[in-house]
Amino acid sequence: MSYLNANIPVQYSQIKREYLYDLKKHHGEVEDCIIFGITSLTGRAILFHAIMENGAVFYRLPISAFIQRGFQPETVPLQRLDELQLWNSFSYYPAITTWDILTASSGKYIGKDKKWYHGKYLFTVDWGHPDANILNSDHSEIPHEHKCAHIIALDNGNYAAQPNNRCIWDLPSFTVKDNIPDWKVQTNEWNVEDTGAWKTEDTDNFFYEIEEKK
């Protein structure tokens, strides 16, 4: 798990040029880029790093700054940042994972407007708190608060970052049901050592016995 910055699977994309000029000019223009990393700041949107064709690198731009390569900017619908990414980063410690089972998957997420947005899975950002000597003031390890962010290349040309409870994935040989689950939020902290009902024998035996406490 990285602190602050993390590598991601590179994405050959286009950057909206107004984000290179602090949103002050060049609206509607794009140029090619490669997105190669992120910054995770607690309470901020995931921030992406990109290199341009001139070799210059621009740090810390939101997911709304980019569209996919091959799309004309005028054909890509404008979606607000909060429509593309539902939750801010949960800590300064991001973990990047590309889940093999989802890699070839298409899917969809339901937006704030109650509409479904279809796309292809790219990778996942998750968060934790790896150092017990640092005050844990975030929500990354509270069961009912935790969220990950699946990064999705949307069919409309945008990118999105959405949690599990907004996404439905399509594995044609397995996901054969069409219902939306009515599951409840997970609130338990699972722990196998907190029962107080057992102890090990007090010896140096490699294969020690486990006894029920009386």
Calpha distance 194→107 (Å, rounded): 39
Calpha distance 48→214 (Å, rounded): 56
Render pLDDT for 59-114 as a digit per residue (tens, 0 to 9): 999 999 999 999 999 999 999 999 999 999 999 999 999 999 999 789 999 999 99
Render pLDDT for 177-207 as a digit per residue (tens, 0 to 9): 988 889 998 999 888 888 778 888 889 999 9
**Is residue 179 classed exposed, middle or buried when 0-12, 13-18 and 19+ CB atoms within 10 A define those classes?**
exposed
State how far the alpha carbon of 175 is from the alpha carbons of 104, 166, 184, 201, in Å. 14, 16, 20, 47
Helix (H) or strand (E) holding 83: helix 81-84
Answer yes or no: are the C-beta atoms of 42 and 89 closer than 8 Å. Answer: yes
Residue 195: what pLDDT?
77
Render pLDDT for 114-158 as a digit per residue (tens, 0 to 9): 999 999 999 999 999 888 888 888 877 788 788 999 999 999 999
Place of tokens 């984000």: 19
pTM, two decimal places: 0.92
The average pLDDT across 40-56 equals: 97
Fill in the DSSP letter of residue 166: G
